[in-house]
Amino acid sequence: MTSLDQLDLAPIQIVAEKYLSDKLQPGHRLYIADRMESYARVLQNIVSGNITDPFSRSLVLWDEELFFEVHEILEHVWLHSEGAAKLILQAMIRAAGMYVQLDRDNIKGATSMAAKAVEAFEHNRNEVPDILNLDLLLKKLRNIDPIPPKLSENIS
């Protein structure tokens, strides 16, 4: 598996251009273009910040509102974790899932994801990495706030 800092966007760009050359609805074109710009910013931030920790990388993805990708990067770590660390990773995955569900207009699903994330974060508060602004995230999750908080500001 290629790490993010070694990833070349060229193959992704080739696939994106293939789809963009097909007859697509304008909304789909915008979606692909937006994703490509977001991926480029994420990679730039990760490389320039020398961010190697998967949790920190997930926060960079989060700030670009790439919530499905947050799930993907954290799931690999979660599978090999134990105890409170595993529960915190699962809570972050669920927090990202809330925004995926909101994007799909699934309020019931978003509310369920948020409640489970809040519970896990609250029960494991002392184990949450200091880089995460937990109070801000909890406030957004409790209110099912459709505007996600920026979370990568404390990464050094």
CA angle 103–107–108, rounded 5-degree value: 135
Rounded to two decimals, the pTM is 0.85
Shared domain for 127 and 73, answered yes or no, is: yes
Q: Is residue 48 domain-shared with residue 58, that is, in the same domain? A: no
pLDDT, tens only, 61-79:
999 999 999 999 999 999 9
Residue ranges making up the domain that contains 136: 53-150
- Whether 12 and 44 share a structural domain: yes
From first CA to last CA, the distance across the chain in angstroms is: 25
Cα maximum dimension of the chain: 51
The share of the chain scoring above pLDDT 70, in percent, equals 91
CA separation, residue 110 to residues 19, 67, 106, 131, 138 (Å): 30, 13, 6, 24, 14
- Cβ atoms < 10 Å from Cβ of 154: 12
Q: End of a domain among 52, 69, 88?
A: 52
How many structural domains are present in the chain?
2
Residues 98 and 75 in one domain: yes
More confident residue, 16 or 149: 149
Tell me: do 37 and 105 sit in the same domain: no
Asked whether residue 139 falls in the same domain as residue 75, the answer is: yes
Any domain includes 115 = yes
What CATH number is attached to the domain comprising 135? 1.10.3450.10
| 72 shares its domain with 32 | no
Q: What is the mean pLDDT of residues 132-151?
A: 96
Q: With respect to residue 155, please indicate whether it lies within any of the assigned structural domains.
A: no
Compute the Cα dihedral for 74, 77, 80, 82 and give only its sign.
negative
Do 1 and 14 fall within a single domain?
yes
Q: What is the DSSP string of 11-43?
A: HHHHHHHHHHHS---HHHHHHHHHHHHHHHHHH
Instruction: State which amino acid sits at residue 41.
Output: R
Q: Quick one: 59 exposed, middle or buried, by C-beta within 10 A (0-12, 13-18, 19+)? A: buried
